[in-house]
A and B are shown apart, each in its own frame.
Chain A
């Protein structure tokens, strides 16, 4: 028989107030994170006719509609970038973000059986859902490369920033997703509000239009939207223009704030998940 440790491995007692995220616990469950993400990826396109093609259809079709509607008919400015590239460069991160937030917002409720039957850090569920969306992003990114070739957009060193941007967008999505998923456990209103919020989000983010289309004195408002700075940076990276660092810096700061707030919020609500889900 192995001797018992001097101090308890686990102490269970009621928690009070704000609790920090237990990073060590989270790390020890890293395999589960990976397997949950893998599960979401494998299951996502099971029993669909078009399968992974959906990852391409969504941003591509939207881009085509936007190009016709806003690029041709409404003559929306696009800072001199071919409108299809302009729109697609915005839609690529936006589609990833929107799907990630929607899916992770519903992820806890969709995993009720797990939450009421086994212990593991609940943070993993919305986080793994966001990670699963990265596959779709990669596929859609392949289409972007093809579009760039078609429109003769040269590949520049600026593209090297994309991994960093993708991490940033993922963190923004995790921040918002955690918050939504925890709220959803208590208030199922979230499920109905999410698609609507995502739709509004697309219009208050410079996807259809460039930030330069907004009057100078109001532009700072849009900068507070953490995705605005990111999407501009994606565009700059793709068409090889200089980066506008200020909005990107604001985006990093706002994302950090959302992430910290959501994590604490999540931990606070987490203790009652199993009782009220």
Chain B
């Protein structure tokens, strides 16, 4: 059978700092740049490779008609770039895509809603933006209103809508698109649990009617329930492709770029007569190579040798950082036990209770403190680890939750 989507060697190159750091040029800068071009042309020869970066490279993928394909990967892996190329928002730098069907993309619900316009007006506006003809929208109008459940507020400007109503209306319009290929990015990140379930249902409907769905999500349960095949992107390249279950477990275990165990070796973490041989993070009762889930207890284990004879007191301090380098917290063994580290060879362990972290990648700096006042050795980003979603039943909140931590506190009814 011929594929409905044929992606051949697609690549997208950005200039580093281009799209983000300099959102737009000014004429003056451009003139200055032109004036200094000859000089820079000389310099460029050496570092031109460094200024450009491939957000996506060498992507080959074929999708059959009626298939639902999941696309997973860490933030910045290139998922959104791929969808943007497929939906013709941005052009690829190289390669070619052949589409044998009309494509409809849903990269963000409510795109093009105008706050001042009423629900009714926005249905037409949003529908037209997504590529629907007016006749088509009229035909589906009742269905859309019904799906969103906003009959009573049709004549109200959407700026007066609650965020839930807003999202429901937006998804309802998009869900009634009838393209042969539907591209969906993280729409489940908004809306309440019941509505998310409805959305998933709608999407599997779409797929079962012979239409093709490309689905990007961080939510593994949603990907599993919807997609028969999944593609894993890492650093702009396809690193795994195949059955959803295998690819998801490859993704969860092969935490690329995450080093949750470090052996400091001979020239490692050492100060006079005390040395730390290794540091590692893992789920309690698991191996270092196993994925860490959110509802696992987590242990940080340090192997060290203390040959000190001068009577110093040593402590380990860990600084926990988020993906972007933000300091989240600092914890020290001194707060627990004055004499945790004894002379000789030993293993010490710090326990982090389950359901403490939010999802994401975390980094630990290791510090060795002498006599409560002097940092004598320090290793930034000694280890890093990825906290993966717990196996959540469908129908629960599946969107992105903000923040680094998501601890479970005691909640009770007191009156």
- Contact segment of A42-50, A57-65, A92-100, A221-229: A42-50
Mark out the residues of chain B between 111 and 127 whose CB falls within 8 Å of any chain A CB in the assembled complex.
111-112, 114, 116-117, 121, 124-125
CB-contact partner of A1 in B66, B97, B103, B125, under 8 A: B66
Decide: A187 near B96, CB < 8 A? Known: A4-B101, A274-B90. Answer: no
Query: Interface with B: A115-123, A143-151, A162-170, which one?
Result: A115-123
User: 17 A-B Cβ contacts within 8 A?
Assistant: A2-B180, A8-B6, A10-B88, A10-B103, A11-B97, A29-B128, A32-B131, A39-B121, A117-B89, A117-B108, A117-B111, A119-B87, A120-B131, A186-B24, A187-B27, A275-B18, A277-B23
Beyond A4-B101, A8-B99, A118-B111, is A277–B24 a contact (Cβ under 8 Å)?
A: yes
Does chain A have a CB within 8 A of B202?
A: no
Chain A contributes a number of interface residues (CB within 8 A of B) equal to: 42
Neighbour of B24 across the interface among A1, A13, A116, A188, CB < 8 A: A188
The distance in angstroms between the C-alpha atoms of A275 and B15, with both chains bound, is 10
Residues of A within 8 A of B124 (CB): 35
- Contact surface of A with B, Cβ cutoff 8 Å: 1-2, 4-5, 8-15, 29, 31-32, 34-36, 39, 42-43, 46-47, 113-120, 185-189, 271-272, 274-277
B102 part of interface (Cβ distance < 8 Å): yes
Residues from chain A with a CB closer than 8 A to the CB of B100 are 4-5, 8-9
- Map CB proximity to A onto B140-176 as digits: 1 under 8 Å, 0 otherwise: 0000000000000000000000000000000000000
User: Cβ of B342 < 8 Å from any Cβ of A?
Assistant: no
CB <8 Å contact, B129 and A10: no
Say yes or no: A14-B94 contact (C-beta < 8 A), given A31-B133, A43-B116, A118-B129. yes
Which A residues are CB-close (under 8 A) to B228?
none
- Inter-chain contact A120/B85, CB cutoff 8 Å: no
Interfacial chain A residues near B19, Cβ < 8 Å: 275-276
Q: How far is the CA of A114 from the CA of B112 in the complex (A)?
A: 6
B107:A118 contact, CB within 8 angstroms: yes
Establish whether residues B131 and A13, one from each chain, have CB atoms under 8 Å apart when the complex forms.
no
CA distance A114 to B108 in the complex (A): 10
B86/A116 in contact, CB under 8 A: no
* A12 touching B88 in the complex, CB below 8 Å, given contacts A4-B4, A4-B101: yes
